[in-house]
Amino acid sequence: MFGWLVPVAHAITDCDPGATGDKGIDLGNCLRLSNDEAVSAVYSEPAFLVNLIVRNMFVVGGVVLFLLIFYAGFKYVSQGKKGMEEAKNIFKSILIGTVLMFCAYWIVQIVQLLTGVDIGL
């Protein structure tokens, strides 16, 4: 379902899990992407995958916000007094969600500025 988000990884048969000794299995080198590149070559740290997911969640949140605005407007126009109250509650939720997304983004930016770590947003 989310194949477009992260490339598909395939296990290879010539990987020897016991070759690393006491450290266990190195899945980053045993798993290959569809272009036969090791997963560890593309995603060297778990933070890369987290950044990818967070970036896409902001986009999904923006699309949901946009759709909710249309939905609330439709309720406001099409249903009488009851629709106005429901639309008002939806608009309150939209405003709270927008403020939360805005604050989350800027908190991450401030942490990035203070620590000097490139978070990637």
Structure tokens at 115: 């620590």
Cα(72)–Cα(97) distance, integer angstroms = 14
pLDDT of residue 56: 87
What whole-number distance in Å separates Cα of residue 77 and Cα of residue 81? 10
The pLDDT value recorded for residue 6 is 62
32 band by pLDDT with thresholds 50, 70 and 90:
confident
What's the mean pLDDT in 94-100? 92
Predicted local confidence at residue 86, as pLDDT = 92
pLDDT confidence bin for 33, thresholds 50/70/90:
confident
% of residues, the chain, pLDDT over 70: 74
